[in-house]
Amino acid sequence: MRGPLGAVIGRYPSSDGTTHLGGIIKHNRKCRDIAVLIIFIAFWIAMIVNSSFAFSRGNPLRLTYGLDYRGNVCGQKHAAQDLRELELKYWLNPNQVYQSGLKDSQFKLANARSICLLDCPIPSEDSLTWVCDYPEGDIHVSLNDWIDMNYDYFEFLTPEMRNSSLQLQGPCYPVIFPSVNVYWSCQFIARASNVSLKHWQQMGGVNIQEDIVIDKSIHEYINSQSAVLKRYMADIGKSWPVLIVCGGILPLFLSVIWLLMIRHFVAAMPWVTVVLFNLLMVSVTMFFYLKVGWIGNDAISPIIGEHDPYIHVYVRELTHLRVVTVLMSFIMLVAFLTSIAIVQRILMATSVLKVAAKVIGEVQALIIFPIIPYGILAVFYIFWTSAALHLFSSGQVVQNNCNSNCCTYDLIEKKVICDRCCGYSIHYMPHIGAAILFHLFGCYWATQFFIACLSTVIAGSVASYYWAHGEASPEIPFLSVFSSMKRLMLYSLGSVALGSLTVSFVESIRILLESIRRKLKVSSHVPDSWIGKAAYQSSQCFQRCIGWTIKSVNRNAYIMIAVTGKSFFKASAVATELIMNNILRIGRVNVIGDVILFLGKLCVSLSSAVFAFLMLDTHKYRSTHNKISSPLFPVVVCWALGYVVATLFFAVVEMSIDTVILSFCQDSEEHGTAQYAPPLLIETLEDQNEMQRLAQGPQ
């Protein structure tokens, strides 16, 4: 049986028989869940080792730019050449591109000869132009001069070199097809220049295939799943100023403003939150409609720079945006209908928020304390994001092992070679997938851990305020928040680590099961009978209920950890028993307040998304060096970061309400009436009959 907590929390007897205030909040504590704390420390060491591997093996430029025929990354300085201005990957041999697009061909586009250029070549209107290999050997032309000559030094070639070039074996290759810059790869347009082709044939060049396959081959390469994933990750690296402003600074400012308004304008905040939430939902949805081109002509384009307006290139990023746009439209409709449904309950939410407003007014350090975990998380996210970019691009550049006939002229050896002409690719380590999953899990666990620490500190300071009301006000530490933080650091880090690990593990299992469910659905393994379908859908609902229950129990367990200093599982048991004994009163008072707080978090995160759209719509991210492939991923990341920041600051209100209500229920159970409840707290609840019913408990 659970003993009376209020008696030991509010007072404790000393050796001289006198009674002191503070009780178990200050005394009788010891370190809990030490084993989990050791596991958490080992986890951080593993994260550092994993990140060190990423920094040593990764190169984020690989996520954006391709490799040339030497294995060099375009847009980067190398030992042989300085390619920092040469960012575009261009396939030199049009017949190799054509062969790679044939269904039965063994030749892969990854083995086609490619080079790094400053811009995509376009056929001349009155002659035949060439793109030649990097100048070396007997070609006494500097790299800068080669660029100024439009990569063409055909006139300096020996007869042997010219004959080799006419056989499409280099070192120079004809520009027959126009090409456009599609995400730093030159996409061929299957519209050969008649003038260039005529000159080529007159010079005795081999036959060049003109089929549409030459267009589709590069198009499929650019639209592969791995290429799209790399571009999404590269978008994060390019839009880091947007992430800092819209994912860090802006939500910090908005969250503090929201807390101050709760403190001074609590009666109006539920209405303001609901209205603002719906306006932001409409704004975000409209931005998606603009970006897919369903409203106006502002659809994202994969082509970088100026190009023929009649050229249209389709990529997967636009498909993903369309799917999200349809999803946002549905969510917007549901959100609007839900807002209408809760209008009648907003008055109850106002009375609940007044509780938090009074607590914040008494313990004012609560408003600024979240800045500490915010700063720690900001440093962690910067380090984690950088490590993630390196991890996704980690690997070793190796030459492919191909058996295709791809002979080419070597300027150094001055002859045609056929044994070292295969293309290069990035060879990923076998464990890279596990390393990425571990890195993602680490981010989620670390986030949950810092949120749990924040919640525990707030709960401890609010509990001190509640149980020491009246007689104890002089003895409450002036900075009770930091006293609570000290108790957490000394005794309860292991318990908090265990609680955050529980949430992270349950969520990871749920995501894994969801991915399996989708694969089964795609594979047509969904049960056909109505019983099977009902069980199938019930399992999904059951998973979500488990996740919600774990989070709810954890939040109340953190309160008991802060108040009693017990281990995580014992604190969870105490919290669960207290909740079950008062389920009606807690649910009746707290549910609508939680809904308003959730909408408040969404308001902050949606504001971050809106401003992210506005920043990404500038010239810097639309057509220049920092052009992003799609605003989708940076906007989603800004939304997620905004939600995390809002969660940190809104935890002040959430944990204040939960701690006061649990303390009130405990106080009522032990004394029949809430003896420790501050008068100012009771005055905030307008319905006195409801308060009396809460104090009496269930009959």
90 pLDDT higher than 90: yes
For range 517-541, the mean pLDDT: 54
Three-state DSSP class for residue 383: helix
- Could you tell me if residue 373 is left (phi over 0), alpha (psi between -120 and 50 degrees) or otherwise beta? alpha
List the structure tokens of 648: 């940190």
What is the C-alpha to C-alpha distance for residues 556 and 302, in angstroms, rounded to an integer? 49
H or E segment to which residue 21 belongs: strand 19-21
What is the C-alpha to C-alpha distance for residues 140 and 388, in angstroms, rounded to an integer? 43
Q: At what angle do helices 568-581 and 583-616 cross, to 10 degrees?
A: 110
pLDDT score, position 561: 87
Q: What is the DSSP letter of 245?
A: I
DSSP string, 326-358: HHHHHHHHHHHHHHHHTGGGHHHHHHHHHHHHH
Q: Which of 4-18, 208-222, 283-297, 369-383 has the highest mean pLDDT?
A: 369-383
List the structure tokens of 326: 């349809």
Q: Which residues contact 382 (CB under 8 A, 6 or more apart)?
A: none
For residue 643, which of 606, 677, 678, 670 has the smallest C-alpha distance? Answer: 606
pLDDT score, position 683: 56
CA-to-CA separations, 86 to 147, 330, 381, in angstroms, rounded: 9, 44, 32
Provide, rounded to the nearest whole percent, the portion of the chain with pLDDT above 70. Answer: 81
For range 485-501, the mean pLDDT: 88
pLDDT score, position 42: 95
| Bridge pairing between strands 11-13 and 185-188 | unpaired
- Sorting pLDDT into bands at 50, 70 and 90, what band is 406? confident
For residue 361, which of 226, 289, 462 has the smallest C-alpha distance? Answer: 462
**pLDDT tens digits, 624-668:** 778 899 999 999 999 999 999 999 999 888 888 888 878 877 777
For range 469-496, the mean pLDDT: 71
pLDDT score, position 524: 45
Three-state DSSP class for residue 633: helix
For residue 638, which of 232, 229, 242 has the smallest C-alpha distance? Answer: 242
Neighbours of 157 (CB within 10 A): 20
The pair phi, psi for residue 8, each rounded to 5°, is -85, -25
The pair phi, psi for residue 58, each rounded to 5°, is -100, 160
For residue 645, which of 683, 591, 606, 696 has the smallest C-alpha distance? Answer: 606
List the structure tokens of 284: 């975000």
Report the residue count for the chain: 699
For range 220-235, the mean pLDDT: 90
**Is residue 559 within 8 Å of 459, Cβ to Cβ?**
yes
Which of 173-187, 312-326, 522-536 is predicted least confidently?
Answer: 522-536
Output the average pLDDT for the chain. Answer: 81
What is the C-alpha to C-alpha distance for residues 192 and 419, in angstroms, rounded to an integer? 31
673 pLDDT higher than 70: no
Sign for the CA dihedral angle at 194, 196, 197, 202 comes to positive
What is the C-alpha to C-alpha distance for residues 581 and 573, in angstroms, rounded to an integer? 12
pLDDT score, position 647: 92
- Could you tell me if residue 33 is left (phi over 0), alpha (psi between -120 and 50 degrees) or otherwise beta? left
545 pLDDT higher than 50: yes
- Sorting pLDDT into bands at 50, 70 and 90, what band is 404? low
421 pLDDT higher than 80: no
pLDDT score, position 15: 36
What is the C-alpha to C-alpha distance for residues 639 and 287, in angstroms, rounded to an integer? 14
**pLDDT tens digits, 562-617:** 888 888 888 888 887 877 777 666 665 566 677 888 889 999 999 999 999 999 98
**pLDDT tens digits, 285-307:** 999 999 888 887 777 888 887 76
pLDDT score, position 544: 59
**Is residue 677 within 8 Å of 667, Cβ to Cβ?**
yes
pLDDT score, position 1: 42
165 pLDDT higher than 80: yes
Q: Which of 364-368, 443-447, 676-680 has the highest mean pLDDT?
A: 443-447
List the structure tokens of 198: 């005529």
**pLDDT tens digits, 128-141:** 999 999 998 888 88
277 pLDDT higher than 80: yes
- Sorting pLDDT into bands at 50, 70 and 90, what band is 22? very low
**Is residue 453 within 8 Å of 446, Cβ to Cβ?**
no
- Sorting pLDDT into bands at 50, 70 and 90, what band is 271? confident
Neighbours of 198 (CB within 10 A): 11
CA-to-CA separations, 560 to 85, 406, 432, in angstroms, rounded: 60, 71, 40
